[in-house]
Amino acid sequence: MSEFLAYLTAGSPFDISIKSTSQSKITPSDIAACMSKFDTHTYLYALGKFCLDLNVIDRLLFFGELSARNKSWVKNIDDLKMAETLAKAALSDALGFNQCHHCNGTGEVAEKAEIKSCPNCNGKGQINFTEQNIADSLNITRHQFRKIKHRYTELLSEYNNMEIDIHFVIKEKLGF
């Protein structure tokens, strides 16, 4: 499916016809019909997740934060800030972006003309979305995070639902 969705990235030639596994031609109008079923958020997520189109990330984050800010558990300014941080983590988690920002994925940092193992990722270059590092990004303890973990799970499940929708629509419309 990612191959198919690659045709939908910005700048890709739309006047081509590609063959599905059933040997019938898929036309640009088929693709358009397929995409029209999605809302903007889901559409952008499909591009970000399956086409690795990094141009959509800012807009995806905008929608993610918007959704998080409107949750019923947002009651004050602290909740609002938390919603935005959780939205960022959930989007990165859903997209599989887990490169360490401290060392940019190299696992090493320069410190006083010395190269040291990155303390943020323990030299791995990647961080896992564990309870501890999401809690760290929120400046709360792991114990405190556990109490509000359902908020994070809620945001993450929205992306899971989008993936189910995307798979379903493409399978139904195009027979992949």
Choose which of 46, 68, 121, 162 interacts with Zn ion (CB under 5 A).
Answer: 121
Return the residue of 102, 149, 167, 173 that touches Zn ion, per CB under 5 A.
102
Which span sits near Zn ion by CB under 5 A: 65-73, 99-107, 156-164, 167-175?
99-107
Question: Smallest distance from the beta carbon of 106 to Zn ion, in angstroms?
Answer: 7
**Could you say whether residue 133 binds Zn ion (CB under 5 A)?**
no
Q: At closest approach, how far in Å is the CB of 138 from Zn ion?
A: 19
Distance, in Å, from the CA atom of 24 to the CA atom of 30, rounded to the nearest integer, reads 11
Q: How far is the CB of 89 from Zn ion (least distance, A)?
A: 16
The site for Zn ion (CB under 5 A) is made up of 100, 102-103, 118, 120-121
